[in-house]
């Protein structure tokens, strides 16, 4: 799809969203459909059983006809134990999937009418769902790879590898043979040999041609059976302007625009993998914005309950 058709495609408009997910019952039914597409399977006995339904404190519960186990339609999902109506969660999902740039917790606070802490937690739980939805992503074929820094400048002199106050991340873009961007994988990792090795092993598959600017750590690619299209540019403006890196450089520019206005660098250092997952999730689904909310919902019902303590822990670099 040409770029302008991606930008001007019809997303899920707010009136359409309200028509589909405006009431608690509609949201419940959407959760049920995403969670049990082939009918109710009891979480306790794992069998498709007949069930009876009842409501407790307004929430829909089911009782298994076999083992008598009771579960709410949201238990065992990311929504478990929430005191908020599902309509608020769905509104947050709509805002996060239809936005052009990342949405800040402060913005969500205003739009959802909840406290900052609640908005922050909802947002990070949704981002965790996006992270899990993208966990199995594998890039193959021609893949441009580069490092980037939040808070750093890419033009003029040294690009800032190893510099303090700059938060590193790695960007990989699978392109067509002509260099048009297709899919992306991002990682909040430093550009070290070990980090790149883990990144390539987890997010790429053969056949693979890695196109990079020739840093030593990309010998990793060759050692893993990939072809390495090594291009020495010396960094700075030269590599930015190099046509070989057009896709990855365009995406790095877009990521910086999406993140710089939304997050402080310190927070990015702590929760960077989730903020990057937000960008990656949207980028890899950009051809079908209307389907994004449904994709996110599928990931969220498969995401176990996320206690606040776990959500607030930073990712440890593997």
**Contact positions toward Zn ion, by CB under 5 A?**
42, 44-45, 64, 66-67, 69
Q: How far, in whole angstroms, is CA 48 from its chain's centroid?
A: 32
CB of 79 to Zn ion, least distance (A): 21
**Whose Cβ is closer to Zn ion: residue 64's or residue 145's?**
64
**Whose Cβ is closer to Zn ion: residue 39's or residue 156's?**
39
Is the peptide bond between 190 and the residue preceding it cis, with omega within 30 degrees of 0? no
**Whose Cβ is closer to Zn ion: residue 42's or residue 143's?**
42
CB of 44 to Zn ion, least distance (A): 4
Which residue in 242, 125, 135, 118 sits closest to 186, CA to CA?
A: 135
The size of the chain, in residues, is 318
**Whose Cβ is closer to Zn ion: residue 42's or residue 186's?**
42
Q: Is the dihedral of CA 262, 239, 145, 315 positive or negative?
A: negative
Alpha carbons 237 and 125: distance in angstroms, whole number: 38
Q: Please report, for the chain, how many H helices and E strands are present, in that order.
A: 13, 8
CB of 187 to Zn ion, least distance (A): 40
**Whose Cβ is closer to Zn ion: residue 68's or residue 115's?**
68
Question: Got the DSSP string for 12-80?
Answer: --HHHHHHHHSSHHHHHHHHHHHH-TTS---TTT-S---EEEEEETTEEEEEETTT--EEETTTTSTTT
Alpha carbons 162 and 30: distance in angstroms, whole number: 47
CB of 1 to Zn ion, least distance (A): 45
**Whose Cβ is closer to Zn ion: residue 35's or residue 228's?**
35
CB of 43 to Zn ion, least distance (A): 8
Q: Residue 75, CB half-sphere, CA atoms under 13 Å: how many? A: 12
CB of 37 to Zn ion, least distance (A): 19
* Dihedral-angle region of residue 306 (phi above 0 means left; psi in -120 to 50 means alpha; beta otherwise): beta
**Whose Cβ is closer to Zn ion: residue 44's or residue 313's?**
44
281: Cβ–Cβ under 8 A, 6 or more apart, which residues? Answer: 130, 131, 133, 134, 292, 295, 296
**Whose Cβ is closer to Zn ion: residue 54's or residue 287's?**
54
CB of 78 to Zn ion, least distance (A): 22
CB of 193 to Zn ion, least distance (A): 50
């Amino acid at each position: 799809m040409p770029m302008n058709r991606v930008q001007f495609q019809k997303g899920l408009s707010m009136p359409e969203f309200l028509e589909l997910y405006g009431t608690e019952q509609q949201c419940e039914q959407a959760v049920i459909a995403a969670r049990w597409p082939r009918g109710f399977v009891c979480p306790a006995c794992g069998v498709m059983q007949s069930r009876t339904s009842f409501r407790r404190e307004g929430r829909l519960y089911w009782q298994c006809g076999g083992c008598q186990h009771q579960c709410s339609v949201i238990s065992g999902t990311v929504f478990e134990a929430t005191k908020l109506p599902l309509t608020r969660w769905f509104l947050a999902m709509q805002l996060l999937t239809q936005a052009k740039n990342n949405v800040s917790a402060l913005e969500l606070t205003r739009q959802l009418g909840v406290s900052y802490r609640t908005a922050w937690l909802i947002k990070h739980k949704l981002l965790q769902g996006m992270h899990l939805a993208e966990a199995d992503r594998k890039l193959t074929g021609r893949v441009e790879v580069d490092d980037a820094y939040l808070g750093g400048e890419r033009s003029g002199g040294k690009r800032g590898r190893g510099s303090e106050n700059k938060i590193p991340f790695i960007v990989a873009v699978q392109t067509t043979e002509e260099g048009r961007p297709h899919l992306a994988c991002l990682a909040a990792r430093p550009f070290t040999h070990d980090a790149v090795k883990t990144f390539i092993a987890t997010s790429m598959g053969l056949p693979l041609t890695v196109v990079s600017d020739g840093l030593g750590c990309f010998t990793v690619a060759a050692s893993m059976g990939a072809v390495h299209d090594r291009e020495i540019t010396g960094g700075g403006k030269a590599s930015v302007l190099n046509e070989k890196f057009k896709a990855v450089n365009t995406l790095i520019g877009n990521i910086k625009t999406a993140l710089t206005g939304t997050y402080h660098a310190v927070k990015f250092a702590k929760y960077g993998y989730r903020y990057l997952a937000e960008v990656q999730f949207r980028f890899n689904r950009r051809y079908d914005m209307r389907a994004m909310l449904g994709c996110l919902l599928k990931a969220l019902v498969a995401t176990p309950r996320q206690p606040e303590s776990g959500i607030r822990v930073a990712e440890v670099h593997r």
